Amino acid sequence: MGEIDFPALNSRQRLEKLAQTGLLDSPAEAAFDRFTRLASKLLKAPVALISLVDADRQFFKSCVGLPEPWASRRETPLSHSFCAIVISNWLPLVVNDSRVDPRVSRNLAVRDLGVISYLGVPLITNDGVGLGALCVIDGVPRIWSPEDLEILDDLAAATITEIELRLGLKQQQIVEESLRESEERFRGAFDSAAIGMAIVATDGRPILFRQERPGRHARPFTLTKFRTMSVNREKESRPEHDAERLTRVGRILRKSSVDELPQLLNVLRGEMSLVGPRPLLTRYLERYTAEQARRHEVLPGMTGWAAVNGRNSLSWDQKFALDNWYVDHWTPWLDLRILAMTAVRVLQRSNVATEGHATSPEFMGTNGAAVAAPVLPVR
């Protein structure tokens, strides 16, 4: 092992992963410098490097004791790299005297950087992609011991853990940015859609209604729906019933359940699921019994078992019993069945509201024993 395996070094997967780290051409950081300092100190080597090997160069993310001008440049061409040999072969490289070692004696790092003895181990990600090497260098011949290799290998593992953390953070940022872009596209679609124009034409803006609701484990999130109640009435003294606050468009949206569509934004963000107990008001949390609070053991849904088995015609006790039955009996097939039943209920437009209310009367807490719900068996 002494030649650089350029096909392995230039693999698309490896170069893409290296770019994803965001470490190439980045400034020095204490998080990485501590590994090279430790390597230099523990192995009593004047030079220690974290080398990230690109297609045509090696970039030093961290370097201790490297002579000028290389310390300022923080890179060399691959003609001056032992680390490229390490990563292209996926194996540690132990060189006691480079001048008489046929594997590296012609490498220009011997002449120009004074690399006489070298010990390097590969930096390989958890998914098996080689990024570079952690190495120590001395300007005189040296016999590296198995203990030296073990120490360097441990430090390399710590280094790759730091790199993996960076990759995880960057991936999270990419996902969050993607979700933000998706949300903006959805919002733009809602603003320009016929529904949005109908809401604006009859009652002005805003088109969307947002309210904090408790999600899984009662963690709060912002629910998004099409607005169905009058803005002006909301500013006045509150009417006796929500039904009096519904706009003409709002009544149509609620009967068809179209007002729920913007909750797809919540599903995209991982705050809701397509199927699950419906997200209720935050102030209800302190009114639940321990049994009723079990509904928050799963993500809330756009539709649910209670929604397709009576919806707002049910009492609160019946709804909670159905929600808990869903929690206890969840399967993917049950979700599919609920989605199919939801389509039928939407076409029937049944059980949307209770008399005198836009949806259901407010839940004030349970007095006495809970009423057993008519739970339908799953076939």
Say what the pLDDT of residue 148 is: 95
Say what the pLDDT of residue 82 is: 92
Percent of the chain with pLDDT over 70: 77
| Residue ranges of the chain that CATH labels 3.30.450.40 | 6-169
Per-residue pLDDT at 374 exceeds 90: no
Instruction: Give the mean model confidence (pLDDT) for residues 219-242.
Output: 67
Long-range pairs, 98-104, Cβ under 8 A, ≥24: 101/2, 102/2, 103/1, 103/2, 104/2
Which two three-digit tokens encode residue 3? 């030649």
Per-residue pLDDT at 238 exceeds 80: no
Say what the pLDDT of residue 371 is: 38
Higher local confidence (pLDDT), 233 or 316: 316
Calculate ∠ Cα 265-269-272, nearest 5°.
Answer: 75
Say what the pLDDT of residue 7 is: 78
Instruction: Give the mean model confidence (pLDDT) for residues 325-352.
Output: 82
Model pLDDT for residues 94-119, shown as the tens digit of each residue:
999 999 999 999 999 999 999 999 99
What is the rounded average pLDDT for all residues in the chain?
82
Which two three-digit tokens encode residue 163? 């790199």
CA distances from 274 to 139, 278, 303 (A): 65, 10, 6
Say what the pLDDT of residue 11 is: 87
Instruction: Give the mean model confidence (pLDDT) for residues 340-367.
Output: 68
Per-residue pLDDT at 244 exceeds 60: yes
Q: Which of 14, 175, 139, 16 is nearest to 66 (CA)?
A: 139
Instruction: Give the mean model confidence (pLDDT) for residues 247-255.
Output: 71
Q: Please, which pLDDT band fits residue 352 given cuts at 50, 70 and 90?
A: very low
Say what the pLDDT of residue 284 is: 93
Instruction: Give the mean model confidence (pLDDT) for residues 285-309.
Output: 92
Instruction: Give the mean model confidence (pLDDT) for residues 338-364.
Output: 68
pTM recorded for the entire structure: 0.50
Percent of the chain with pLDDT over 90: 47
Q: Which residue has the tokens 């045509």?
A: 56
| Whole-number Å distance between alpha carbons of 314 and 352 | 11
Model pLDDT for residues 142-180, shown as the tens digit of each residue:
999 999 999 999 999 999 998 988 877 766 666 667 666
Per-residue pLDDT at 12 exceeds 80: yes
Q: Which of 18, 27, 15 is nearest to 74 (CA)?
A: 27
Calculate ∠ Cα 199-203-206, nearest 5°.
Answer: 65
Model pLDDT for residues 21-66, shown as the tens digit of each residue:
889 999 999 989 999 999 999 999 999 999 999 989 999 999 999 9
Per-residue pLDDT at 355 exceeds 50: no
Instruction: Give the mean model confidence (pLDDT) for residues 309-337.
Output: 89
Q: Please, which pLDDT band fits residue 240 given cuts at 50, 70 and 90?
A: very low
Say what the pLDDT of residue 213 is: 93
Higher local confidence (pLDDT), 16 or 248: 16
Model pLDDT for residues 338-350, shown as the tens digit of each residue:
988 888 877 766 5
Q: Please, which pLDDT band fits residue 311 given cuts at 50, 70 and 90?
A: confident
Report the topology of domain 6-169: Beta-Lactamase (3.30.450)
Say what the pLDDT of residue 3 is: 66
